[in-house]
Amino acid sequence: MSPRPLLICGTRTFAVEVADLASEVPGVEVAGFVENMDRERCRDLLLGMPVAWAEEAASLAASHDFVCALGTTRRSRFTAQMEGLGFSAGTLIHPGARLSPTSMVGAGTIASVGVIVAAQTAVGRHVILNRGVLVGHHTTIGDHVSLLPGANVAGRCHIGDGAYIGMGALVLDHVSVGCDSVVGAGAVVTKDVPDRVQVLGVPARVVKEDVAGR
């Protein structure tokens, strides 16, 4: 069965990057973009393609899939809206990524160039695995997690739903990062991180609590 046309949720710079990524994935046809915050952005084409207002795109749900290209911790609101309108999530895996055949990747996940997912790992739904991300063996990545370029999560780790792992951050073996927590760029996480905190530094330390998550 041929893949269905793909809608990209979002109209900012990361959405443009995801469209570029999709152009190199065999069989994927990007049909346009979807906006749900600024209706003015629906007036003009983006990369020569239409931008639909979310509620008005519902008629396409039976024939199109979507991925969400918001590089923030709150994209779950957009994915829930699209699924509520009847859309199914697609999965976008660049041919330059290597995912072990013993691992699983949830619907809506985007895996960019240079991503490696090792053996016996579970990646959740609507996860962003940005350029050069490494995910170790027997690791669990929750839903709506963002792993920014060059992030390295080692083996037997657990990354909770909605967590945000910054550029070049390192999470050591057997360590957990809690739901909705933020690991700053370049941080080295050597011990478990609780839910809804921000950690920075080498080794990473809590610098903020009660982080607003999804």
Q: What is the DSSP letter of 40?
A: G
Is residue 6 within 8 A of residue 92, CB to CB? The reply is yes
Say which of 137, 138, 144, 158 is annotated catalytic. 137
**How many Cβ atoms from other residues are within 10 Å of residue 46's Cβ?**
19
**144 annotated active-site:** no
Q: What is the rounded CA–CA span in Å between residue 136 and residue 61? A: 35
Nearest alpha carbon to residue 130 among 153, 102, 157: 153
> Nearest 5°: CA angle at 151, between 147 and 153?
90
Q: What is the rounded CA–CA span in Å between residue 110 and residue 89? A: 11
User: 141: Cβ–Cβ under 8 A, 6 or more apart, which residues?
Assistant: 121, 122, 123, 124, 127, 135, 147, 153, 159
Which residues form the catalytic set?
137
